[in-house]
Structure 1
């Protein structure tokens, strides 16, 4: 009986969703803000589709409780290159945190340029990098995939090229610049040069900058949230198979020829993976595809985004594999600007309806109600 009740409740929700969407789309007085608030209320109370399919209520409560306790017992340590902090570099500050840490540890990183290669290991969850909003610290490096490791004597490859790599869960960065200064030259191999790799889940970035050229931001795997971030690169500069929401972010191309903003790697249709860009800005040099299909079922959606005229009219690339044309999920919803003109788009690009856009429009896309801290 309880199972039947849940099914009936969800059916009522779908009916309500259809009726309200019809009303909203036909009413000239309904605003975008009202629509999003309504969607958020419904999705929050009924959970996102992914949460309903893959996370039991018991598991969700456990995640919430673990995070709640970590936030209640937070501590902070400071990093300052002038010696007026607990540590003079970020590596030493991280090393001071005990393994299997269960409390939020805030690293207050003072302004400066930190030339360090940083790994936040899986054993250090609940770490926050906090910079000054007026003068954010820069963490910089210049490793590429072809650089030979001192430890192994072998090339680092893309995975180990990042200036900062985050393997830990519940990582947060606020007011930080992540940088890889290695430049991309057309035609040369091994120039992937990652500024940040995000491999942990339930990680968030606020007011951060990611500066690089080829493969700037490795959105590797897990649930990720980016808000008010600046992301700059040339080739595939946001890539990976993470499940990520980018809100109010600025994507800036420094490509000299034809390149791509994203290379998303969803490999099977059942994989809950994809990039959603909402209220973003696309600018820069060169000419760019919004995305090219690194995976057979690559999924990327742009909504309410301004696109300058650097966007190629075709919009999307199947990376030379036409079998992907019917498998990828590339959508656009109420975008603006000269680059958002759908005339000339590939026939397999989607102009999303209100119903189709809903799953991508809020933090429920990354199950944010279970882990994002207001």
Structure 2
């Protein structure tokens, strides 16, 4: 695992510990809370990236801080361009969010709420660097919205609901998107609820639920443990993203293409020679043969810790394909699991095509797993799988 990956794991653990302190000590700055918890000495470069944007709190009217080196008073908003946000055009409007009050809004939710219902224009919500500790919902009629962060190591929306605290896994998402034509770029979505052990009741904790059609995620991060990314329904494209979790950390019944993404298991390390399995990448929920859904992974990498399955058959017609994907030896030789229901072996569609790495050896794969040939793999290798030629091009431009 790279230093950046380790840093993100430390941050998730750090925020999980901090979550209760945020509410216990609402008048303390994040830095003071870190000192109280004895955690302010973390030297991780990634945590160092996040912390400076989190210690100021909200300052709606007082935008001056002492410079840390010389004690001089400086304007904390001085880095903003004079003409930002840019003026509206016929096709886009831009509003911005900054925790220190340097923008139109101090919270992401207030910016979302300001967008006109059923707007035909795209609204770009430019979100400044920092940790936004709030639960965000984009309702169905708030369409054509873009979340534009400053880098997935710099901007994050964070909450800590669980299935137990929110009356169901489906409602636990730190961010929940029900609208169509949603875009997110260069931002992270995090759920910092305590990391569960396999079998824990009510501990599922979703970072984002995406339930609208035609969504595009570029350069985004998704952080959690069990059920990190609820890829619920609709057609979605994930490109150059970082997705971390432990158990079923990509789940749902959407039709989605994941391209050039890093998939990182944070399941507990397993002793050499141990046979236990404590994680799974996917749990696709296709219910019937008449549904046109599935997860396709192309040119991705899979690594991290634990001993994991590529997928579990959450529903009888579960459909997942890995192509040109590098897999480390954390993948168990059988590769997949039928949810302990052999009747699903005849209906699930699990395929692999030209994958590589120690975890991609198909010699001992479960008998229902298909080693795809060129013709069989072709429909799952590009954006045509999600009808991207009909809607995605305008998003990328």
Normalised by the length of structure 1, the TM-score is 0.78
Q: Paired residue for 2:344, among 298, 321, 324?
A: 324
Distance 1:127 1:235, change over 3 A: same
Does 2:186 align with 1:168? no
Determine if contact 1:202/1:222 at 8 Å carries over to the other structure: yes
Q: Which whole-Å CA distance do the structure 2 matches of 1:177 and 1:335 have between them?
A: 27
Q: What is the deviation of 1:347?
A: 1.1
Partner of 1:266 in structure 2?
286
Is 1:242 the counterpart of 2:281 in the alignment?
no
Within 2, Cα distance between the matches of 1:268 and 1:72? 43
Deviation at 1:270, TM superposition (A): 1.6
For the aligned residues, what is the CA RMSD? 1.4
Aligned to 2:355: 335
The alpha-carbon deviation at position 136 of structure 1 amounts to: 3.0
Q: How many angstroms apart in 1 are the aligned matches of 2:199 and 2:321?
A: 29
Unaligned runs of 5+ in 2: 1-87, 269-276
What is the aligned partner in structure 1 of residue 323 from structure 2?
A: 303
Q: Which residue number in structure 2 is paired with residue 224 of structure 1?
A: 236
Query: Which residue of the partner structure matches residue 94 of structure 1?
Result: 112
Q: How does 1:275-294 map to 2 (within 5 A)?
A: 275-294=295-314
Match of 1:255 among 254, 267, 273: 267
> Deviation of residue 93 (structure 1)?
0.7
Q: What's the CA shift string for 1:208-263, capped at 9, x where partnerless?
A: 00000000000000000000001000110000000000000011001125211100
- Of structures 1 and 2, the one scoring higher in RCO (CA 8 A, sep 6+) is 1
Aligned length: 298
Encode CA deviations 1:65-110: one digit per residue, 9 max, x unaligned: xxxxx99511100101111111111111111111111110000000
1:67-86 correspondence runs (5 A): 73-86=91-104
Once residues 90 and 114 of structure 2 are traced to their aligned partners in structure 1, the CA distance between those partners, rounded to angstroms, is: 20
2:387 aligned residue (367, 370, 374): 367
1:128-186, Cα deviation, whole Å (9 max, x unpaired): 00011385311001100001xxxxxxx52111100000000000000011000112133
Q: Provide the residue aligned with 1:13 in structure 2.
A: none
Matched, 1:348 2:368: yes
Q: Secondary structure at the match of 2:232?
A: coil
1:358 counterpart SS class: helix
Q: For 2:254 and 2:122, how far apart are their aligned partners in 1?
A: 23
Matched, 1:204 2:216: yes
Structure 1's unaligned 5+ residue stretches are 1-69, 148-154
Does the aligned pair in 1 maintain the 2:189–2:221 contact within 8 Å?
yes
SS in 1 for 2:307: strand
Other-structure match for 1:179: 190
Residue 233 (1) aligns with residue 253 (2): no
Structure that is richer in helix per residue:
1
d(CA) in 2 for partners of 1:186, 1:299: 23
Distance in 2 separating the partners of 1:194 and 1:270 = 28
- Give distance in 1, aligned partners of 2:226 and 2:89: 36
- After superposition, the Cα gap between the structure-2 partners of 1:244 and 1:132, relative to the gap in structure 1 and judged at 3 Å, is same
